[in-house]
A and B are shown apart, each in its own frame.
Chain A
Amino acid sequence: MLPDGYLHLTECPELTIDYLDGGLPRRALRAVEAHLETCADCRKAVAEQKRIATLMQSQEQVNPPHALKSRVMAGLTAETAASKERYAAHARLWARLRSAWKVQTLLPAVAALLFLSVALGVFIQTQTPKDSNLSMDVSETTSQAASAESSDSPMSEYSSALDERGRTEETEGTKTTAAVQSMPATALMAVSGTPTSVGQTVYGTLSVELPPPLASTQWLEGRTTYAVVIGSSDLALLADFLRATGSRVTVSHAEEGQEASVEAIVRALATYPRMVRLEEGNFRLAAQAAPEGQQDGFKPDQDILLIITLTPDS
C-alpha cells in the first residue's frame, strides 16, 4: 500500500524519486510495484521520469573557455592586492591600539576584560554620561574589578597610556593616527546584565562606533558587526587560557540567547585572525574564571585579548 491518504505514487515525489533510484527498502518497494501494476497513469509518469532523467544525464558537459583560468588568476591577484592594502591599513591601526592598551602583567583574561570594560566605561561615563542604568551597571562592575586587580590602578594606567599616545602620535597627522585618537571619544560602551556567582564574571556588550576612516573602508561595507581580537597571538592565547584555566567564554546572541561553544568561536576566529563577522546585533561576552589554583598555566604574552562588537556608520 502507498502511504496513508495517497492514491497515486505521483502524489509522493520523494517516494517516486527514491523508487527510481532504487533506494527503497524492500517493503516500500513492493508496495510501489503493486501500485504500479494497477495504475497506468503512474506507470506512465514513472516512465516519463526515467526518460527525462536519461535524456538529461546523457547531456555532455562543455569545456570552459581557455581564457577563464587566466581571468580568474588575474582577478584573484588584483583582489588579493586590494585586500592586502585594506588589511595593512587595519593592521597598522590595531598595532597602535594594542600598544596603547598594553599592560605589563596580565592576570586572568577576565581581569583584562574587566579592566578594559571598566576603563572604557568609566572613561565614557565621564566624557558622555549615558542613562542611569548604564552608570549603575558600570559602577557595580568597577567594584568587582577593584577586587580583582590588586596592584596599580588600571584606570590610571589606561588613561596615561592614552595620553601618551595622543602626544607621541600628534605630529604624524595621518588618518590612522586620527582614528586612534578619536576612538575613545567616539567609543560607546554599555554593560548589561549583572555579575553572577562568586567568581569573576562579567556580562557586557561592548559596542565601539568606528571613526570615519575605518568606517568608510571597504571591508565594512554592508556589514554591521564584527568581533575583533587584539593581540599578536590572540587565538593561541585564548585557546591556551581556556585550556590552562579551565575557563569558559561564551559569546551569545543577546537577542536570541543563542550560545556558541568555545570551539565554535575559536574556529570562527581562526578563519579570520583579526576580524570575524559573527552575526548582526549585539553579542554578550561572558568570561568566567576558573577555580583558584588552576590558573598557574596561563602565560600571557602581554597582549590584551578583547572581543568587541564594531558598529560601522550606517
Chain B
Amino acid sequence: MPHSPNTEEGEIRLIARAQTGDEDALEILYREHERRAYNLALRMLGDPWSAADVAQDAFIKAFSSLGRFREDAKFSTWLHRIVVNTAYDYLRKRRDEPEEDERLQHLATTKRDSDTPGMERGGDPASDGLSSQVKKALLSLEEDFRVTIVLCDLLGFTYREAAEILEVEQGTVKSRIFRARARLARILRDDLGGENVDSVGNNGAAQAVQET
C-alpha cells in the first residue's frame, strides 16, 4: 500500500495500521518522529543517556496506547506531549532522588562508547550538537521556559502546536518564549564575560559563544 505520511489522510491510514499492531506502520511512525522526539528529550534533560531513556519510554507508552489516540488530534502533538510529560516525570524523579542524579551525572561524564551500544555514532556522546555555553544557558532556564523555547525555536513547532503539546494557551507560549529568550540573552552575555552581545552579529554571537 502506498504510504503518504505527509498528508492528513496518509497519517490517519498509517495510524490505523499501527493500531492493529502492523510493525511496518509502527516503524514508519517511529522513523518520522524519532529525531524531534529524541532532541526534545535531549534538550529538556541535557544528557543523551537520560534522553534515550525518556524517548524510549515515551515511544513505548505512545505505541502501546495507540488505541487511545483519537483522530481529531495530530499524532505528532500527542506523541510529543507524552515525551514532555515523561521528561517532566524524569526531572521530578531526579530532584527527589539526588543521589541517583549524582550517579547518572557520574555515568554521563565517565561512560564511553564501548559501554553503551548504539551510542557510538557521532563519536563522543557528550558532544551533543550544542556548544557548552548554549547548553548550559538552556539548562539553567526554568523547565517550563526551557521546554517552550526548545519546542518552538529549536525544533520548529508552531506556537499553536506548542500550545497543544503543553496544553496551555498560545499567549502563554509566546510570553514564555519572550521571557526565555530575554533570560538566555542575559545568561549568554554574562557567560561571555561582560562582552556586549549587542555588538555582535547573529552568526557572530554563535561563533563567539562557541569559541569562548
A and B associate in one complex: yes
Residues of chain A at the chain B interface (Cβ within 8 Å): 13-14, 16-18, 44-45, 47-73, 75-76, 79-80, 83, 267, 271-272
One of B54-62, B89-97, B101-109 at the interface:
B54-62
Give the chain A neighbours of B206 by CB distance below 8 A: 55, 58
**B86 interface residue per 8 A CB criterion:** no
Give Cα A14–Cα B175 distance, bound, in whole angstroms.
6
Q: Are B48 and A56 in contact (CB under 8 A)?
A: no
Q: Are B118 and A65 in contact (CB under 8 A)?
A: yes
Are A80 and B64 CB-contacts (below 8 A) given A17-B177, A49-B178? yes
Q: Are A51 and B63 in contact (CB under 8 A)?
A: no
Give the chain A neighbours of B69 by CB distance below 8 A: 271
Contact with A along B192-212 (1 / 0, CB 8 A): 000001100011011001000
Give the chain B neighbours of A75 by CB distance below 8 A: 56, 59-60
Give the chain B neighbours of A271 by CB distance below 8 A: 67-70
Q: Are A13 and B149 in contact (CB under 8 A)?
A: no
Give Cα A54–Cα B119 distance, bound, in whole angstroms.
29
Q: Are A47 and B198 in contact (CB under 8 A)?
A: yes
Are A72 and B30 CB-contacts (below 8 A) given A49-B182, A56-B153, A83-B64? yes
**B168 interface residue per 8 A CB criterion:** no
Q: Are B181 and A49 in contact (CB under 8 A)?
A: yes
Give Cα A272–Cα B68 distance, bound, in whole angstroms.
7
Give Cα A237–Cα B188 distance, bound, in whole angstroms.
63
Q: Are A76 and B129 in contact (CB under 8 A)?
A: no
Report which residue of A14, A57, A73, A79 has the largest number of chain B beta carbons within 10 angstroms of its beta carbon: A14
**B98 interface residue per 8 A CB criterion:** no
Give the chain B neighbours of A17 by CB distance below 8 A: 159, 174-175, 177-178
Give Cα A69–Cα B28 distance, bound, in whole angstroms.
11
Give the chain A neighbours of B120 by CB distance below 8 A: 66
Q: Are B56 and A68 in contact (CB under 8 A)?
A: yes
Interface SS of A by simple majority: helix
Contact with A along B144-166 (1 / 0, CB 8 A): 00000100011110010000000
B179 CB, min distance to chain A CBs, angstroms: 7
Give Cα A48–Cα B188 distance, bound, in whole angstroms.
11
A119 CB, min distance to chain B CBs, angstroms: 32
- Can you pick out 21 interface pairs between chain A and chain B where the beta carbons lie within 8 Å of each other? A14-B178, A17-B174, A17-B178, A49-B181, A51-B185, A52-B182, A58-B203, A59-B154, A61-B36, A61-B39, A62-B122, A63-B121, A66-B118, A68-B34, A71-B56, A72-B30, A72-B56, A73-B23, A73-B27, A76-B63, A80-B21
Give Cα A264–Cα B209 distance, bound, in whole angstroms.
52
Give the chain B neighbours of A79 by CB distance below 8 A: 60, 64
Q: Who on chain A is nearest to B130 by CB?
A: A59
Q: Are B52 and A68 in contact (CB under 8 A)?
A: yes
Give Cα A54–Cα B205 distance, bound, in whole angstroms.
10
**B171 interface residue per 8 A CB criterion:** yes
Interface SS of B by simple majority: helix
Give Cα A72–Cα B27 distance, bound, in whole angstroms.
10
New contact pairs (17) apart from A64-B35, A69-B30, A71-B56, CB-CB < 8 Å: A13-B178, A18-B174, A49-B182, A52-B181, A56-B181, A56-B184, A58-B202, A59-B154, A65-B118, A65-B119, A65-B125, A68-B38, A68-B52, A72-B59, A72-B60, A75-B59, A271-B70
Give Cα A49–Cα B38 distance, bound, in whole angstroms.
26
Give the chain B neighbours of A53 by CB distance below 8 A: 153, 181
Q: Which of B30, B118, B129, B178 contacts A60 (CB 8 A)?
A: B129
Give the chain B neighbours of A45 by CB distance below 8 A: 182
**B128 interface residue per 8 A CB criterion:** yes
**B16 interface residue per 8 A CB criterion:** no
B119 CB, min distance to chain A CBs, angstroms: 5
Q: Are A67 and B67 in contact (CB under 8 A)?
A: no
Q: Are B26 and A73 in contact (CB under 8 A)?
A: yes
**B42 interface residue per 8 A CB criterion:** yes
Q: Who on chain A is nearest to B118 by CB?
A: A67
Contact with A along B71-89 (1 / 0, CB 8 A): 0000000000000000000
Report which residue of B23, B37, B69, B154 has the largest number of chain A beta carbons within 10 angstroms of its beta carbon: B154
B20 CB, min distance to chain A CBs, angstroms: 12
Are A76 and B155 CB-contacts (below 8 A) given A17-B178, A67-B118? no
**B2 interface residue per 8 A CB criterion:** no
A14 CB, min distance to chain B CBs, angstroms: 5
Give Cα A14–Cα B205 distance, bound, in whole angstroms.
25
Q: Are B30 and A56 in contact (CB under 8 A)?
A: no
Q: Are A65 and B52 in contact (CB under 8 A)?
A: yes
Give Cα A59–Cα B70 distance, bound, in whole angstroms.
33
Report which residue of A47, A66, A83, A267 has the largest number of chain B beta carbons within 10 angstroms of its beta carbon: A66
Give Cα A45–Cα B178 distance, bound, in whole angstroms.
10
Give the chain B neighbours of A72 by CB distance below 8 A: 30, 55-56, 59-60, 63
